[in-house]
Amino acid sequence: MVKQHDSGAGGRVIRVEFSRPAFFLILVCLVASPIVVWRMAGRGMPDPMDPVKAPGVGTEGQRVTGPWGTVLIRQTVLEPPRTSFTYVVEPGYRTRWCFRDMDRDTLRTRLVNVGIGERDADLLVQTAVAEAQIRGYLVYPPDDLVINLHPDIRARVYALLALDPINPSYCYPHSFRCDSVDEWLQGATIPDAAMERLRKLVYRRGKRLCLSDMPLVLPLIDYPLDAINFKRALQRDMAVTMHLVVDAGVPVDMMVGYWGTGGRDDQVEPIIESFRREKGGLLDIVYLLPGFPGSRLNRFPLPTAPDQVVRDCHWASFNFMNAEPDDRYGASREAVRDTIHEHFIQVRPPVRFGDVVLLINRDNGAVIHSCVYVAADVVYTKDGPTHRTPYALKRLENVVDYYKAIAPVQVEYFRRRNTDETP
């Protein structure tokens, strides 16, 4: 995370905290880890393993005109391949809540304040295990208590847990922007008992349904293939696709000036010009992105060992313009802090391609997420460090909506100093 506060001398101090051109791109896409992408028009890469049908998301799209030209934005659902999953049921699984830097009295107060009944709070505090490393407590709530939490109380408890990355299942739950569990898991074969429990365990975070307690559902699914399809469906992610409208009347120079930010004019101009000259139509903006984001867009990263690079939002955002990724952004507080201080300047809207968007907790100044502005209020984002979340394009308002359910969010924009004159 990045924390910012006034230095007292008119400046801002940034402190970082962590938890743990053109068509050659086609070749990269062919060898990258495959996913199943359902587009609004029903097109996408077929999964040879008979994928489940993704939720319907409409077909009309939205055209938005600005300094980028005119783009067509459509919703899409991303789902990882079945081969990414294994069937594992954790024997003796116990739900664990970690509370850092507090004594038992403070722990009880926190639990009661988020809606846990006093009798249950007393039981949880009495059975809490002191943990010296976090100067706090590990709480192991009984399954019955977890399963029967009221959805509103569950959302408040899990939002509290999500403030500390030591609770990854609550920081980065399975989630999907939808109205119901049926919409989220459409097409997946799940026993009635598992669905009944699932309905009790889901909660809302903004406009998303979330699940943090998957291990309490898996034992109710008998067949390994059904369990794998269930886990796969849980990892569906709502994103958008974006195409640039290119025809004989488009202002090529203006579009090149926008998409070529960062000294990339000579890379994007031949693509736009040749596409306009030869046929026109809708140009997928993946061909206009730098190599780093373009080669990863709409893909889920492979799982990594605990001691390998943390590929989180900061790693994705601050490597956006880099020819080769700098892995320090996934491991070093100093690397991110120094990069912001030395190579970025804060700017006000209108923002443009390549600007880094920081979502800052209004209460304590901690940056809880970073992403990169693309166009038409669409950002390039990696929501969390896990392999469960893809590199994707999403509407900024949807990203903000998700994180503001955890904490009050302030949006700030930063631009690389070596780009064109800042406003």
160 — phi, psi (to 5°)?
-65, -45
Amino acid code (one letter) for 271: I
Burial of 290 (0-12, 13-18, 19+ CB in 10 A): buried
Strand order in the sheet with 97-99: 97-99, 136-139, 129-131
Distance, CA of 205 to CA of 207 (rounded, Å): 6
Whether the Cβ atoms of residue 108 and residue 125 lie closer than 8 Å to each other: yes
Per-residue model confidence as pLDDT tens for the chain (423 residues): 444 444 444 444 444 444 433 333 333 333 333 333 332 233 233 332 222 333 334 457 899 999 999 999 999 999 887 777 777 766 778 999 999 999 999 999 999 999 999 999 999 999 999 999 999 999 999 999 999 999 999 999 999 999 898 999 999 899 998 999 999 998 888 899 999 999 999 999 988 999 999 999 999 998 888 888 898 899 898 899 999 999 877 889 999 999 999 899 999 999 999 888 877 789 999 999 999 999 999 998 877 666 677 888 999 999 999 988 888 777 666 777 788 888 999 999 999 999 999 999 998 888 889 999 999 999 999 988 877 789 999 999 999 988 887 888 999 999 998 765 444
CA–CA distance, 248 with 280 (Å, rounded to integer)? 7
| CA-based radius of gyration for the chain | 23
